[in-house]
């Protein structure tokens, strides 16, 4: 295990309970948070029965911090001093324990699946219309309101389905994922309940503060204001569509008057990649980064660009690129990142053909853990085609599972999500064999570390890393996305592009197509992304002839070992 960097040591040794850590991608943030916990325990800042609460946004991030903590804490110390939870799970915990404060007793159902989506699919509502209904419900619940106030807000939309579903949810005493932070915040507005949590948790750590909604921020501050370690990066704030408000959260954290520590050295990426990330900082408000060990990157890394006439040409080249690179560096991972899934349909089509000399993975499919994947494979062997296409398919499929397997809430949630995914693919015409083939994760493999070609969107890739990244679709209306009409929306699109680029270790190649085929069949000319104006300012960004020359003359033995 490498020695902590000076910044990580500073975070470990800082004595105050409140701290704001600005940590761009690849700068060692998760390691720093694990060291922060070690320091808090060593200084006696927490003592049993008081605990440190670590809040994350995803189970994947939760597992990541758990793994890092094992480097510095014993199993007994973690069990005695630390509680780690994703934000929705923590909100559910608050509701289970104290829901009676707002009239939500134990008879209310905590969500274990996308109930709204299931209801809309059962009604035969098309996918675009489903998203509109979900949008009305989400918007009404991003502000902390009572159930009655939520219904009044939804009624203003005059959308009958949204109103109908909200009325049904309340009548059946159900909670959805959108309800959890809203109701937890309502509960914690009771000073007596908030005081219990303030006494139980001596301090809080929030991973990726820029992804907080103001509602989630309120929950955290009611429990631990001035005792919170915020860690994240404004330049990675790409979830405004989910209610995140990075700048307001940053301002609120600073208003607590806490110490700020900023990282500026990357341990992940080559100098060339960092130059490209840095070229976007005027748009992203990010930190200008340098490599912690620039001499260790063979050739300094690569950033280049290639233009294609059509997406079919682009797709064929990407498959050829993977076929050439992976034999040279068999452990390497190539991420093909697009703004939206539809932009890479031509590549999906080519890869679905047999005969490629590399493994490839589609990140749009759920990422199943090694316990859930075998359960789903078994279900696909036993379920009938008619069962998979039934309106209540999820319920029918779950009845095939041994109840003992579903005793753990996390497993139940994962298996339920998997059954919903199976139902959707079945309705779209996929066979059971095809679906089984798309369950890539098992006991001896993991999508998060498997070598090969990986297909994903910019949002799905946040928090991950690849040896090489191909940012495909650098057309205006694709990057930035065509719905980005305001300056703030365009700024967030620049952050999405920055996140895409910063996934790379050795190199990044951007691609642009001069012609695109619209869904209705028209072939249209395109305009290069306006962000090229920033990327071209990077001193390392090459045209394709220079980039191809770099690849042909690179020391692949050294690259494969780095």
Interval 364-373: pLDDT, tens: 776 677 778 8
pLDDT, residue 444, reads 42
The least confident of 49-53, 293-297, 343-347, 395-399 is 395-399
At 518 the three-state DSSP class reads coil
As a whole number, the mean pLDDT across the chain is: 91
Given this model, what pLDDT does residue 443 score?
Answer: 41
- What is the per-residue pLDDT across 136-147, written as a single tens digit (0 to 9) for each? 999 999 999 999
**3-state class (DSSP) for residue 390:** coil
Residues pairing with 127 in the sheet: none
What pLDDT is stored for residue 371 in this prediction? 78
Nearest C-alpha neighbor of 72 from the set 151, 145, 8: 8
Whether residue 24 has pLDDT greater than 60: yes
> Do 231 and 207 contact (CB within 8 A), yes or no?
yes
Token pair in block for residue 408:
């753990």
CA 71 to CA 38: how far, in whole Å?
10
Q: Average the pLDDT over each of 171-180, 373-382, 495-504 and give the range with the smallest value.
A: 373-382
Looking at residue 441, its pLDDT comes to 62
Question: What integer is the mean pLDDT of 496-500?
Answer: 96
Contacts of 456 (CB under 8 A, 6+ apart): 335, 336, 337, 338, 363, 364, 464
Question: Diameter of the chain by CA atoms?
Answer: 69
Lowest mean pLDDT among 42-51, 66-75, 153-162, 518-527: 518-527
pTM of the model: 0.85
CA distances from 244 to 34, 123, 237, 419, 496 (A): 25, 31, 8, 29, 14
pLDDT (mean) for 279-294: 95
Give the up-direction half-sphere exposure of residue 308: CA atoms within 13 A in the CB hemisphere: 19
pLDDT band at 354, cuts 50/70/90? confident
| Per-residue pLDDT, 494 | 97
End-to-end CA separation in angstroms for the chain:
17
Where residue 433 falls (left for φ over 0; alpha for ψ -120 to 50; beta otherwise) is: alpha
| Predicted pLDDT of residue 513 | 97
Which tens digit of pLDDT belongs to each residue from 402-459?
A: 887 777 766 777 788 888 888 888 887 888 888 887 786 644 445 678 899 999 999 9
Handedness of CA 122, 123, 126, 131 (dihedral sign): negative
pLDDT of residue 445: 47
What are the distances in angstroms from CA 379 to CA 359, 370, 389, 428, 438? 25, 15, 14, 18, 14
Q: What is the 3-state secondary structure (H, E, C) of 61-97?
A: HHHHHHHHHCCCCCHHHHHHHEEEEEHHHHHHHHHHH
**90-125 confidence digits (pLDDT tens):** 999 999 999 999 999 999 999 877 899 889 888 888
pLDDT at 56 over 80: yes
- What pLDDT score was predicted for residue 440? 66
Residue 143, SS3 per DSSP: coil
DSSP notation for 171-230:
HTTB--TTHHHHHHHHHHTSHHHHHHHHHHEEEEEEE-GGG-BHHHHHHHHHHHTTSEEE
Q: Regarding predicted confidence, which is higher, 194 or 384?
A: 194
User: 3: which DSSP letter?
Assistant: P
Sign, Cα dihedral of 127, 132, 133, 137: positive
């Amino acid at each position: 295990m490498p020695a902590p960097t000076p910044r990580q040591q500073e975070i470990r040794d800082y004595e105050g309970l409140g701290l704001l850590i600005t940590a761009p991608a690849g700068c060692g943030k998760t390691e720093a948070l694990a060291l922060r916990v070690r320091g808090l325990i060593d200084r006696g800042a927490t003592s049993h029965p008081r605990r440190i609460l670590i809040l994350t946004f995803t189970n994947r991030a939760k597992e990541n911090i758990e793994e890092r903590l094992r480097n510095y804490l014993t199993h007994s110390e973690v069990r005695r001093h630390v509680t780690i939870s994703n934000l929705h799970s923590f909100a559910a915990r608050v509701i289970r324990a104290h829901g009676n404060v707002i009239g939500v007793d134990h008879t209310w159902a905590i969500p274990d699946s996308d109930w709204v989506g299931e209801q809309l699919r059962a009604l035969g509502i098309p996918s675009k219309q489903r998203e509109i209904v979900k949008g009305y419900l989400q918007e009404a619940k991003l502000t902390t309101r009572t159930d009655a106030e939520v219904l009044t807000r939804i009624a203003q939309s005059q959308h009958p389905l949204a109103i109908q579903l909200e009325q049904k949810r309340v009548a059946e005493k159900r909670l959805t994922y959108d309800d959890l932070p809203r109701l937890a915040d309502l509960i914690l507005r009771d000073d007596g309940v908030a005081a219990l949590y303030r006494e139980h948790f001596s301090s809080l750590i929030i991973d990726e503060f820029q992804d907080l909604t103001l509602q989630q921020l309120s929950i955290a501050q009611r429990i631990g204001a001035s005792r919170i370690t915020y860690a994240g990066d404004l330049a990675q704030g790409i979830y405004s569509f989910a209610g995140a408000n990075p700048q307001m959260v940053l301002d609120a954290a600073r208003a607590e008057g806490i110490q700020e520590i900023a990282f500026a050295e990357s341990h992940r990426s080559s100098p060339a990649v960092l130059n490209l990330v840095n070229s976007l900082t005027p748009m992203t408000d990010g930190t200008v980064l340098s490599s912690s060990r620039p001499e260790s990157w063979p050739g300094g890394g690569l950033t280049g660009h290639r233009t294609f006439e059509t997406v079919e040409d682009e797709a064929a080249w990407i498959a050829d690129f993977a076929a050439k690179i992976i034999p040279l560096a068999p452990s390497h991972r190539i991420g093909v990142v697009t703004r939206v899934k539809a932009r890479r349909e031509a590549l999906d089509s080519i890869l679905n053909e047999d005969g490629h000399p590399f493994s490839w993975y589609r990140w749009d499919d759920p990422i199943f853990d090694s316990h859930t994947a075998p359960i789903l494979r078994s279900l696909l062997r036993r379920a009938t085609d008619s069962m998979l296409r039934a309106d209540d398919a999820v319920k029918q499929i779950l009845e095939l599972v041994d109840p003992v397997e579903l005793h753990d809430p996390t497993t139940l949630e994962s298996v339920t999500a998997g059954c919903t995914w199976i139902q959707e693919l079945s309705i779209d015409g996929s066979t059971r064999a095809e679906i089984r083939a798309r369950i890539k994760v098992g006991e001896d493999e993991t999508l998060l570390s498997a070598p090969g070609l990986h297909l994903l969107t910019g949002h799905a890739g946040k928090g991950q890393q690849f040896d090489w990244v191909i940012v495909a679709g650098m057309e205006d209306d694709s990057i930035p996305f065509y719905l980005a009409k305001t300056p703030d929306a365009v700024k967030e699109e620049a952050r999405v592009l920055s996140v895409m680029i910063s996934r790379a270790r050795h190199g990044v190649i951007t691609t642009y197509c001069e012609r695109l085929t619209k869904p209705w069949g028209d072939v249209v000319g395109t305009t290069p992304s306006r962000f090229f104006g920033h990327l071209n300012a990077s001193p390392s960004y090459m045209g394709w002839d220079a980039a191809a020359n770099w690849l042909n003359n690179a020391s692949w033995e050294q690259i494969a070992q780095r």
